[in-house]
Amino acid sequence: MAASLQQLNLRSVRSPFYLKSASKHSSKPASIRCATATPTKRYSITILPGDGIGPETISVAKDVLKLIGSLEGIEFGFQEMPLGGSALDLTGVPLPDETLLAAKQSNAVLLGAIGGYKWDNNPKHLKPEMGLLQLREGLKVFANLRPATVLPQLVDSSTLKKEVAEGVDLMVVRELTGGIYFGKPRGIGTNENGEEIGFNTEVYASYEIDRIARVGFEIARKRNKKLCSVDKANVLEASMFWRDRVTAIASEYPDVELSHMYVDNAAMQLVRNPKQFDTILTNNIFGDILSDEASMITGGIGMLPSASLGASGPGLFEPIHGSAPDIAGQDKANPLATILSVAMLLKYGLGEENAAKRIENAVLDTLDKGFRTGDIYSAGNKLVGCKEMGEEVLKSVEGQVPAAV
C-alpha cells in the first residue's frame, strides 16, 4: 500500500493537533514494552536520517513507530539510506541512485533533516538541498500538506499575543514540484551589456495548477469549507494564470468558499489575524515561506510535521524544521515534529488512522505533563532533551487505551 491522493482519507484532514488534550494516563516503565498484537499488516519504510539533528530525531521517531506497530499489529521493515550532506560525504552526490530506488520501492519515506554549514560553499549541484529537491521530483510528490495549530499547552510560546494566537488551526497546501524551484531557463550568465546575472523562471502548466487546486478544495471541503488561494496576480503573469485556473476549478466545488489574496498581504494577515485562515492554497515558493511563518505562530518550528503526496507511489513525510547544525549531537533537538510526521505517515501514507491518533494523543499527553525541549520551554515546565522527550512520548503511547475505530 502506498500513499496517494486517491487513497488519502480526507475524513480527517484537520491539523494533527485538532484534538482535545489527552487525559493523563499512568506511565509504564519503558523497559517492559512488548508486542500486544500479532502483526497482520506489513509495510516497508525508507528512513532518511539526513544531517544535523536529523539522525537524533529520526532515532526517537523510529522507536515510536516500532512501538505503535507492536501495539497495533503492524510489522514495519526499515531501510536506512543516505541523503543530503551525509550522502555527499559517502558517495559524492546528494541523492544516490540507491536511495531513490529504495524510496520508490517502499510504502512510505520518513526524512529527518538535511543541510549544514559544512556544505554551504559547495557548487549548487553538490548542495544537500538538491538531494531533497531531486527526491521530491523523483517520487512525483506534488502536494505538500503543512498543518499549523496553536496548542493550548503552547499558546504562551507563540510570538503573537495570546488573544491573536489562541485557536489558530490552519493547513497550508503547497505545490511542491513546479514553479521557480524547478522552472527553466535558470542559471548564471551574462546580459547584453556584459554584466553577470542570475535568473530563474516561475512557470506552471495548467495541469500542475489544476491538480494541486483540487487537493486544496478537497481538504477545505472536509475542514471548514474555506479556501484562500495565495498568489501575486497583480504583478506576475504566472500568478495571473494560477488565479484563473484555481477560479475555474472552483466550479467543481460549489460548497467551498474561495477567496484570493496577494502573498504580501497574506504574510501580513498571518501575523495580524491568523484565525481568518482555514486552508491556504499556494505555489511552491510562497508555500515554503508562508508555512515557515505560520510555524512561528504555533510557538516553534520544532512542532510541525508535513506530508508530501503524489498521484501514486510512496509519500514523503518530514518535519518542516532544518538540520540545526549548531545543536546537533547535543541532545537538545525537539523530536516532536518528526514524531508527528510519523503520525502523518500512518494517517495519510498508510491509512492507519488509529495508530496515528495514538501518537497525536501521546504528544498532547506529554505536553500536558509539562515536558519541554529548549525551543518550547517556559517557566514552570520541565526542561528535557531529545531522548527524554522521546521516552515520555513512548510512555504516553503505552499508557493509552487503544483508539476506537
Q: Residues with catalytic annotation? A: 181, 232, 264, 288, 292
Pairing relation of β-strands 141-149 and 108-113? Answer: unpaired
Residue 251 one-letter amino acid: S
Cα separations (Å) of 242 from 261, 281, 319? 12, 11, 27
* Beta-sheet pairing, 141-149 with 382-383: unpaired
For the chain, report the end-to-end CA distance as a whole number of angstroms. Answer: 20
**207 phi/psi in degrees, rounded to 5:** -65, -30
**294 with 86: CB under 8 angstroms?**
no
d(C-alpha 45, C-alpha 43), whole Å? 6
Q: What does the CA dihedral 29, 35, 36, 38 come to, rounded to 10 degrees?
A: 170
* Rounded-to-integer distance, Cα 312 and Cα 140, Å: 8
Integer Cα distance of 314 and 381 in angstroms: 39
Element (H, E) at 191: none
Cα–Cα dist 8/72, whole Å:
20
What is the rounded CA–CA span in Å between residue 113 and residue 317? 11
